[in-house]
Structure 1
Amino acid sequence: MKLNNLLVLYVYDKESSKNEVLPLLEEKLKKVFTANSLKQAQSCYRKYSPCIIVLDDSFLDNTMVKFLQEIRQSDIKTAFLVLSNNKANEYLYALMELYITKYILKPFKIEHLLLGLNKCLEVIESRIYSNVNLGNGILFNFQTQSLTKDGKVFVLNKKESILVNLFIQNPNRVITYEELEYHIWDNECTTAALKSLIRDFRKKTYKTILKNYSGIGYKLNLQN
């Protein structure tokens, strides 16, 4: 995998920033899609599924932080590269929790941008080609969205895939019933449907992989 094979979404808040950064990105990358509003960014992400999101923002509010948070709820593979002229960014810790690959302060040298892009490439390759150990000899593959158990491969359906990605992304906290309903069913879910999904996932893995917190939700409970 090379940089010039990757699709990138460039989200910016100032036209002057676009004029400075976009030519650099287009020189090194296969295709760069652009967005200068939350609505455009959401639309481009859904339509093109970029490998990297380059967020060029002053962070005067948390609009774009929420955009990245929304993505991370079900997508751990896409790499985030942040550019900003905000040296006292109050949202920095929130960004760090989203596993951003690089935070580059402006103005920057082109070498810094290239270093960040190559670091994104490394992160993408490690996520795509690596397996996550779910315990009891079960592996989850990000690229194929499948489980390997006792030498057999089980490809997950869409709901199961979102479920396992949510828990892998949030291994140390309880995922509430409301969160699961929102991300998997877009808030249109019955209690029976949720229980059925959890039951089927446990059958493909093992009974104790998800610990239930009555009245709250579920937490990943890996057994090594």
Structure 2
Amino acid sequence: MKILLMEDDAVLSDILLDFLRETWSVDYAFNAQEVYEHLETKEYDLFIFDINVLGQNGLELLEELRSFNNTTPTIFITAYRDTESLKKAFEVGANDYIKKPFELEELSVRIYNTKRLFNIETDKYIQITQNITFNKEKKKILKDKKEFSLTNKDTLLLAYFLNNKNRLISNEELSQNIWDFESQPSNATLRSHIRTLRELIGKEKIITIRGEGYLYE
């Protein structure tokens, strides 16, 4: 399942991204403008929008998206606790609503409920080659009818490459999107993860661009 998260609180966004990316493919937007930039090239199964962001707020953004016939299921995050805000959220097209502060597990329950209500398919394998498929949620690769388990980081790395095919990705970009700020990997650690993936999916799929980064083909 592909999720787009809009949240302008740096601390909360880091926490949510770390949590959500353990299970799903998640892109991040700081504000409405960045949401539209993502939507120019990608489609999503679920939006998670904070209402209280700078500039165009979550309510205004969703109302505008619905006017463009975008029907992507949406969960709002908000600090508002009044009934009027709740009413407005559903009027503009929200499908669910979670109030701060909340437990991460509560958000997970709401995501799974939205998945169930909208029949969003998440348990599926992505074709990598004719004989190799990848399931992010199970953290497994199926190769020649044999299953191979992946670590969490290897899973996130492969998913990131698959979402950014034929684009040069620097070591810094991979580190910032896969690891949290306090546990940034060394280049040797990153190379070790890349080597593991190459052994499973083929050396030709992840190309090293010396001094610049990697390219997934």
Give the TM-score category using the shorter length: 0.5 to 0.7
Q: Secondary structure at the match of 1:133?
A: strand
Tell me how far apart the structure 2 counterparts of residues 195 and 201 of structure 1 sit (CA, whole Å). Answer: 10
Shift of 1:146: 0.7
Fraction of identical pairs, as percent: 22
Q: How does 1:141-152 map to 2 (within 5 A)?
A: 141-152=135-146
1:200 maps onto 2:167 in alignment: no
Q: Gapped runs of 5+ residues in structure 2?
A: 36-42, 50-57, 66-70, 76-86, 97-110
Q: Secondary structure at the match of 2:120?
A: helix
Alignment-mate amino acid for residue 156 of structure 1: L
Q: Secondary structure at the match of 2:128?
A: strand
Q: Secondary structure at the match of 2:199?
A: helix
Distance verdict in 2 for CA 1:149–1:189, change over 3 Å: same
Cross-structure match for 2:186: 190
Tell me how far apart the structure 2 counterparts of residues 218 and 181 of structure 1 sit (CA, whole Å). Answer: 12
Question: Taking structure 1 as the reference length, what is the TM-score of the superposition?
Answer: 0.52
Any conservation in 2 of the 1:81–1:103 contact (CA below 8 Å)? Answer: yes
Any conservation in 2 of the 1:81–1:101 contact (CA below 8 Å)? Answer: no
Q: Secondary structure at the match of 1:182?
A: helix
Q: Gapped runs of 5+ residues in structure 1?
A: 1-9, 13-35, 53-61, 69-75, 93-99
CA offsets 1:23-61 (integer angstroms, 9 cap, x no match): xxxxxxxxxxxxx95534544665688999xxxxxxxxx
- The number of residues matched between the two structures is 161
Tell me how far apart the structure 2 counterparts of residues 218 and 180 of structure 1 sit (CA, whole Å). Answer: 9
Tell me how far apart the structure 2 counterparts of residues 193 and 64 of structure 1 sit (CA, whole Å). Answer: 33
Tell me how far apart the structure 2 counterparts of residues 200 and 49 of structure 1 sit (CA, whole Å). Answer: 20
CA offsets 1:62-86 (integer angstroms, 9 cap, x no match): 7446998xxxxxxx99831454325
Tell me how far apart the structure 2 counterparts of residues 163 and 51 of structure 1 sit (CA, whole Å). Answer: 13
Q: How does 1:18-37 map to 2 (within 5 A)?
A: 37=9
Question: Taking structure 2 as the reference length, what is the TM-score of the superposition?
Answer: 0.53
Any conservation in 1 of the 2:59–2:92 contact (CA below 8 Å)? Answer: no
Tell me how far apart the structure 1 counterparts of residues 187 and 21 of structure 2 sit (CA, whole Å). Answer: 31
Q: Secondary structure at the match of 1:129?
A: coil
Cross-structure match for 1:112: 93
Supply the RMSD in Å over aligned alpha carbons.
4.7
Tell me how far apart the structure 1 counterparts of residues 95 and 153 of structure 2 sit (CA, whole Å). Answer: 36
Tell me how far apart the structure 1 counterparts of residues 34 and 185 of structure 2 sit (CA, whole Å). Answer: 24
Cross-structure match for 1:79: 46
Q: How does 1:1-80 map to 2 (within 5 A)?
A: 37-40=9-12, 42-43=14-15, 46=18, 63-64=30-31, 79-80=46-47
Q: Secondary structure at the match of 1:148?
A: strand
Which of 57, 72, 75 is equivalent to 1:101? 72
